[in-house]
Structure 1
């Protein structure tokens, strides 16, 4: 992966607004390129904007209050596409800005046992707001009311081939 570097510290120090420059640089990225952004603070609002645009990110403080953020385009096959209708829990708010899943579960094989109990146990062990990704062979109708009753949010749909149901679940209040 080739990195295109953009250092906006001088723009920020001079009181300028780097957002247009950042978006211009993002628009100029070619296939296989990622953006390495250097700023004098952690650009939290930008992280959400870039996730909505289909980028994942890795950030780290590099010293003296400066931050490095590497934005990488998310591959199309890893994204939940809009090719099939997306369902969501009643309380789901802007799943596009949820963090990346911290657990990946595969329940696509038959006879998976106590799926609901396993997922609820995991959700109770992770921090509020953390996300898990689960794959099912069919829409898990049995699980959905239990998630909502427990205060968790979810969003899901079938893959383009209609063979697997993909679901992201965000841990709610414990």
Structure 2
């Protein structure tokens, strides 16, 4: 007996769904197995530049499931927190001569690359802040020492005290870390070209 038209249509539908089920996993697998995007920030830092912008631009171009392979002249610990907030997990290894290779891979299939660095809402009028209890000059230090030294100084303060620091460049990584710890800050470039930041401990 020949199959009726309705039976033939059902058979075609079953075959179509079966093919779709076989194809879709391969598409997902292809997205996950894309090669990592490689970014070498050593030349930027060697010229005295700030690599944060280049790193964030690279993160913004990543495809779903794609990782970032970063080469830096030091272990970029502050970046672990910054990209961790965007859903990435770091794997770091030293590759010699003080250089590090860090691979950031998404912990899930999605990451938020659109977050921007911004100062928190100043709940206390900065004009009422006390004079700095500590003043640091970090201009001659190599990364990440300016940030590490500044954070150590802030954590040594008591609540409400302030610290002033001179830095060789605008400390974008530091902004993220201060926000995560709940501290307030204000800062600006000085006429000499360096950056001065005033931080109030929470």
- Length-normalised TM-score, structure 2: 0.39
The structure with the larger Rg is: 2
- Length-normalised TM-score, structure 1: 0.44
**Between structures 1 and 2, the one with greater helix share:** 2
**Between structures 1 and 2, the one with greater strand share:** 1
Higher relative contact order (CA 8 A, sep 6+): 1
